[in-house]
């Protein structure tokens, strides 16, 4: 029998936080959100048409991608029994970058996904979180099947990434790999919170009983 005033397991406090998944066009943001979401992921993918010719000049090679995220992806995952993450994937094409401020508002942190075969598509996202946002972020190299692997030190140099920004590899298709990447981000935000000193929050978090 529970004593008066002691919460049962069902009443344990749950912390929820918003996470942004960013990066260039076709780097795997929709795939990552879908691979870990405990609910059917919401996405706003639209068919790419000839109207995008000359506008969407950042298409991945091979012509295999036929849809694009035009607003956001959304998913949810319980990272721990008391930590619930809401995942928001940003659109990657330049014409939708104006949405990034809204999607990043109130977030705990961000993951920037990188495709090593198209590193130039990553610069805009890294520049945004480095210079135009206060969100803690990490960079994750998405290991696409059949793509060559590079030493992370070389990738860091190519991206001109600061030494204090975590750089990891992941496979967005594999839930365990995506979850491990999310854990790295959460740990990074916690370390930043400690370094920033007491009384200073990095971003809002929300409690649910």
Residue 55 has pLDDT above 50, yes or no: no
Mean pLDDT (whole number) for 173-196: 90
The predicted pLDDT at position 49 comes to 43
Long-range contacts of the stretch 59-65 (C-beta < 8 A, 24+): 59/25, 59/26, 60/25, 60/26, 60/115, 60/118, 61/117, 61/118, 65/26
Residue 19 has pLDDT above 50, yes or no: yes
Task: State in words which class domain 11-204 has.
Answer: alpha beta
Residue 27 has pLDDT above 80, yes or no: yes
CA atoms of 33 and 121, how far apart (whole Å): 19
Domain ranges across the chain: 11-204
Contacts of 133 (CB under 8 A, 6+ apart): 104, 110
Half-sphere exposure of 202 (CA within 13 A, CB side): 26
The predicted pLDDT at position 3 comes to 47
Q: Three-state DSSP class for 165?
A: coil
Kindly indicate the confidence band of residue 148, based on its pLDDT and cuts at 50, 70 and 90: confident
> For 32-44, what is each residue's pLDDT tens digit?
999 999 998 776 5
Residue 31 has pLDDT above 70, yes or no: yes
Lowest mean pLDDT among 12-16, 78-82, 111-115, 157-161: 12-16
The predicted pLDDT at position 192 comes to 86
> For 97-112, what is each residue's pLDDT tens digit?
667 788 889 999 999 9
The predicted pLDDT at position 94 comes to 59
């Amino acid at each position: 029998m529970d004593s008066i005033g002691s919460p049962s397991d069902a009443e344990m406090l749950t912390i929820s936080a918003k996470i942004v998944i960013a990066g260039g066009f076709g780097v795997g943001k929709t795939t990552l959100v879908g691979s870990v979401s405990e609910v059917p992921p919401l996405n706003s993918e639209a068919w790419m048409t000839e109207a995008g010719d000359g506008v969407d000049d950042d298409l991945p090679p091979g012509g295999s991608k036929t849809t694009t995220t035009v607003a956001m992806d959304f998913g949810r995952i319980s990272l721990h029994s008391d930590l619930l993450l809401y995942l928001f994937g940003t659109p990657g094409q330049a014409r939708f970058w104006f949405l990034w401020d809204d999607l990043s508002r109130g977030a705990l942190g961000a993951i920037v996904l990188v495709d090593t075969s198209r590193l130039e598509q990553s610069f805009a996202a890294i520049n945004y979180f480095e210079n135009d946002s206060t969100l803690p972020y990490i960079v994750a190299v998405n290991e696409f099947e059949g793509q060559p692997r590079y030493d992370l030190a070389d990738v860091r140099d190519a991206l001109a990434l600061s030494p204090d920004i975590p750089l990891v590899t992941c496979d967005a298709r594999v839930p365990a790999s995506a979850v491990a990447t999310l854990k790295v981000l959460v740990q990074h935000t916690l370390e930043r919170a400690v370094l920033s000193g007491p009384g200073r929050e990095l971003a809002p978090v929300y409690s649910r009983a």
